[in-house]
Amino acid sequence: MRHNPSLLILSGLLSATAALVAQRPAVTAADYARAEKFLAPNLAGLVVGGSVAANWLPDERFWYRNQTLTGTEIVVVDPLKKTRTAYADCGAAGVDCAADAGQTGSGRGGGRGAGRGGRGGGPPSSDGKPLNVAPDGSRAVFVRDWNLWLRDMKTGAERALTTDGVRYFGYATDNAGWSSSDRAIVSWSPDSTKVATQQQDERNVGEMYLVSTTVGHPTLRVSKFPLPGDPVMAMVHRVVIDTLTGKTTRLQMEADFHRATLGDDLSMADYNWSPDGSRLALASVSRDHKHVWLRVADTATGAVRTAFDEVVPTQFESRTGWRVLWDTNEVIWHSERDNWGQLYLYDLLTGHLKNPITTGEGPVMQIARVDAKTRTLWFGANGRDKGQDPYFLHFYRARLDGGPAVPLTPDDGTHAIQLSPSGRYLVDTYSRPDAPPVVTLRAGDGTLVMPLEKADISKLVATGWKPPMPIRMTAHDGRTDIHGLLFRPTDFDPSKKYPIVNHVYPGPQTGSTGSRAFTPARGDRQALAELGFIVVTIDGMGTPGRSKAFQDAYYGAMGRDNTIPDQIAGMTELARRYPWVDITRAGIWGHSGGGFATTTAMFRFPDFFKAGIAESGNHDQRENEDDWGERYQGLLLRNGDGTDNYDAEANQNFAKNLKGHLLLAHGTMDTNVPPYQTMLIADALIKANKDFELILLPNQNHGYGAASNYMMRRRWDYFVSWLLETEPPKEYRIGS
């Protein structure tokens, strides 16, 4: 019998392939089920205690609800006597349960507390519009037909406060480009009589279009969505409205760009009212965020003066905020002028700098409280306690007139505090990614008074849960330390080799790792590790929480860098340090800015990454909302040859370099990052004749909503297929 040599060769290849597959460990539905155990919904309630929301009493005592393994107790603490007494209920403890800060959310320390001055909630307007309620709860405002309306919360009566608002030139409208809602964007005066808001002019602003997926005629969603370089931007005309008289006072200043705030939206969190509502301080920022002005308005006449301004070479960062001390006509101002976020004291009348309040290495991250009478300030800062993770937040007490700060929270971890009304005591909660919360009571000078609580994680540990491992590496510059977390399978075997997957977010406004506080689950990182991977998050240069130079590391070069050189340096160092890291099987994935970073990794470093998943990436900032690109890349500058300064950062221009396996995903109704960004990448890959995969999630927005678990499963499948090189279980359903 004659044999066909080609068939014999094919048969041999198939046999060899089958043998190789047979040698690889199978990934089964049981493995996926075990991984799923480590998602947040399945770990809920397994951390007991370790959370204190203090309700302060007039005599400096305080009480709180405490969860134990057997139920709930009411704990009363007397700082003077150093006693902690537990009671069965509020009646036995002699306290008013209705005032529980743990139920209202008002007990946590460290927040700024200014916000918009109002609050949400309460019944909606007669036509279902959300209300922005005054601080005293007596009245509320809402938007109807592009005008601002008032509702009496007692009678339900409604009346128009403005009448000249028209389509796309309305009052208190909420459209920051990347986010929008029907809520009224206002800042209430402390006495609940006035609101500061704006009339937002979007009439000639460019539009963005999204089309729903449905049977029959689809719905076209049209929104005003300015892009970098657009000649017309949404502009805000600032006004103050007296809700008692209906008088509208226009502030006598030029219209500001719609994102001319220190926050990332239109929330007016950086408005400061005088106690009597007669004056209003506000910050205005230039379109490129390089120039900021502090202005003070007379709310009766609309007269505006500039107190002082600041110019920076890259972008002005002040999410920490600022405070006006109206009684002394002073301003606490946040600036990174010395390469660290510091607080400075200014004269509000002359605009002159009086003195630095804080100095030294480590950025100030928040103002916890200011006591103008005692000239004392409490603040939180990163990186000032040497030998600890530089992202750990610690708290300090400082004098407004300068001098050394007093450390209040020395324990190793990241902290949150609740100050007593007098400032003589503070409740300190601290934890680490690998250590559960501990709560202590400290005196106003940081001296330990007594321990209070420690979280019980015995139920969590009983599931097999293990904490992530903090990691420290060196950036690609060979000098700068970078930090993150590493996740291993709970059945980790150091004698094995594991593929490494990087979950990336490049900044510049946040990083990959997130909070350093303890939490049982960080997305699906531990779940993915459970399938047989090492999963890492690394905060590379270009992300916040460190020095100004650190965050500005790739200013103007977003697509070329995106922290990927640091991700590679960190992963490579880990592979040298730990023989169980297989750097030849490296993967990466991210969402939004992380999707953008993923295509940077796959296209610009194609020999390092073998598989990547780019979800909802903003791959070309010229197609993204205006503020993000113009703030961190710079204003769009067109060259005589038709190119511009965004070309080198647009990842579709480098799609031809793809060598590894790439999965693109996007929601078709994404109002944050339009899906056309991913289509740009797909188009370039097709033109370059490259293989890739694409998942479009019909009718889903930026976060994927009901399709989130589906996308998570597809993500697991993809890395199992291309990095573990085995078949995943077919169509496993997460959450079933």
Mean pLDDT by 10 residues, the chain (736 residues): 40 41 76 98 97 96 96 97 96 88 46 44 76 96 96 96 97 78 91 96 96 97 95 95 97 89 66 96 94 97 98 88 95 97 98 98 97 97 95 98 97 98 98 98 98 98 98 98 99 98 96 97 98 99 97 95 98 99 99 98 99 98 93 95 96 98 98 97 99 99 97 99 98 94
Token digits for 675? 């899906």
Give the whole-angstrom CA distance, residue 203 versus residue 161.
22
pLDDT of residue 112: 30
Angstrom CA distances, 150 to 195, 402, 414, stand at 11, 45, 43
pLDDT of residue 121: 58
Angstrom CA distances, 599 to 196, 258, 658, stand at 42, 30, 9
Q: Residue 693: beta bridge partners?
A: 663
- Single out the residue of 218, 200, 217 nearest to residue 209, CA to CA: 218
Give the whole-angstrom CA distance, residue 187 versus residue 197.
7
| Residues sharing a CB contact under 8 Å with residue 462, sequence separation 6 or more, in sequence order | none
pLDDT of residue 5: 41
Q: How many Å separate Cα 682 from the centre of its chain?
A: 28
pLDDT of residue 269: 74
pLDDT of residue 126: 77
- Which domains are seen in the chain, by residue range? 29-46+459-724 (3.40.50.1820), 55-102 (no CATH)
Q: How many CA atoms lie within 13 A of 656 on its CB side?
A: 3
